[in-house]
């Protein structure tokens, strides 16, 4: 009963629970695709899914951060802007991917459509998140899990082993959910004045730099493996990441998704400490369960369901689990920076994050000498750098915010003003 009461009072744990359900669907879809597709074709699907994630992050140009910070409502102006930016980014990603990874024209086309639709879907979900419609927003944020799971029986029914069909179906699913999400957001009729274009761009791009760097780090293994190793190796990594890495991914998203608005709602340092302690205990329990269960489950699935087609070693499992723990740490630090730090600190974290990306690329290139586990550990070094820097900036931001809150009433600043220099 105590656990149930804690669960009902923890937004992050509830979000994480539903995200884990979605993550389980994503893992199941990947395992099923790994079973029905050749390893190299499954590798191409995994690569395209990674590039789609870059599209949904880069396409909005950080607008979702401003929507949440300012609790903006959906409008035709923002819709046009989202369509324009998402379409441009989709085309750019499709062209770059086709040349860098030698993708076919059809596969590159559907990849561009999916990346554009995913970014537009993300903005629609941000409006719902800002208005605390967490159920609808979480559905849109995790809809790719359900789309991919729906794709599997279609592929099996058509008897196809072509990655292009999979990506095309995912793209059409994103188009449908983007339309539904925006229609839902517009019907909320939230009326808040838009800030000036300059202020909106500065704030959005500051937030974009952080989330894009983190997204690049999240997808870095999938982006580097085909270049340093092979598409078949990417298929192996995708299987392990989908099963053993998925719980940490879902926990990270759950923390970042609800902790930011929760911290923004705190009125004093005591509330901040209470929130972090409560969420930390519950999420820690979820992490412990994941560490205990997922490695063995991964090996069983690989051996019995995939019939040993994908060679998974204990070292690779250890690399995925250890880096997963560091990623959860990064999520907490990043949420605190976005909640309390100034725009200057957000830019500082952006710079450190991109330095971390460079370190991750270097680590991956060097680590690839030792195979797939070495590459994963190389990327993990980047996560460690970003997590440490984010923690230091978060502590500084909370202290500054606390000093402002304890100042005389006439000297206090509202939360929005605090985050401007």
pLDDT in tens, 34-67: 888 888 899 999 999 999 989 888 887 777 776 7
Q: Please give the structure tokens belonging to residue 415.
A: 């939360």
- Radius of gyration of the CA atoms of the chain, in A: 21
Reply yes or no on whether the pLDDT at 91 is more than 90: yes
pLDDT digits (tens, 9 = 90+) for 250-309: 777 777 667 776 776 777 778 777 777 877 777 788 788 888 888 888 888 888 888 778
Confidence of residue 119 (pLDDT cuts 50, 70, 90): confident
| Structure token digits, residue 243 | 């099963």
Burial of 322 (0-12, 13-18, 19+ CB in 10 A): middle
Q: What is the pLDDT of residue 182?
A: 76
């Amino acid at each position: 009963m105590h656990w149930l009461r804690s669960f009902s009072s923890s937004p992050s744990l509830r979000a994480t629970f539903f995200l884990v359900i979605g993550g389980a669907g994503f893992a199941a879809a990947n395992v099923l695709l790994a079973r029905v597709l050749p390893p190299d074709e499954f590798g191409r699907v995994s690569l395209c899914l990674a590039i789609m994630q870059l599209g949904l992050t880069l396409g909005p140009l950080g607008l979702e951060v401003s929507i949440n910070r300012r609790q903006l409502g959906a409008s035709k102006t923002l819709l046009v802007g989202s369509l324009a930016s998402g379409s441009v980014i989709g085309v750019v990603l499709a062209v770059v991917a086709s040349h860098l990874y030698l993708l076919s024209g059809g596969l590159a086309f559907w990849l561009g459509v999916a990346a554009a639709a995913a970014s537009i879907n993300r903005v629609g979900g941000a409006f719902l998140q800002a208005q605390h419609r967490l159920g609808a927003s979480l559905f849109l944020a995790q809809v790719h899990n359900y789309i991919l799971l729906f794709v599997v029986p279609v592929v099996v029914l058509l008897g196809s082993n072509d990655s292009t069909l999979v990506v095309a179906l995912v793209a059409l699913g994103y188009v449908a959910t983007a339309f539904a999400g925006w229609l839902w957001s517009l019907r909320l009729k939230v009326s808040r004045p838009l800030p000036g274009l300059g202020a909106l761009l500065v704030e959005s791009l500051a937030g974009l730099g952080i989330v894009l760097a983190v997204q690049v780090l999240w997808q870095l293994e999938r982006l580097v493996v085909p270049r340093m190793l092979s598409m078949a190796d990417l298929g192996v990594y995708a299987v392990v990441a989908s099963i053993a890495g998925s719980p940490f991914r879902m926990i990270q998203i759950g923390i970042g998704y609800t902790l930011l608005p929760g911290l923004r709602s705190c009125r004093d340092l005591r509330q901040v400490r209470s929130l972090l302690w409560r969420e930390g205990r519950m999420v820690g329990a979820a992490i412990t369960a994941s560490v205990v269960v997922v490695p063995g489950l991964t090996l069983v699935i690989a051996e019995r369901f995939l019939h040993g087609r994908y060679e998974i070693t204990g070292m690779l499992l250890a690399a995925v689990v250890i880096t997963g723990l560091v990623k959860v740490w990064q999520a907490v630090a990043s949420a605190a920076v976005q909640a309390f730090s100034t725009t200057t600190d957000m830019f500082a974290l952006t710079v450190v994050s991109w330095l971390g990306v460079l370190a991750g690329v270097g680590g991956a290139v060097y680590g690839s000498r030792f195979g797939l586990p070495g590459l994963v550990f190389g990327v993990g070094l980047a996560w460690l750098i970003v997590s440490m820097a984010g923690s230091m900036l978060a502590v500084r931001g909370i202290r500054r915010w606390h000093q402002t809150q304890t100042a005389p009433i006439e000297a206090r600043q509202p939360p929005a003003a605090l985050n401007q220099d």
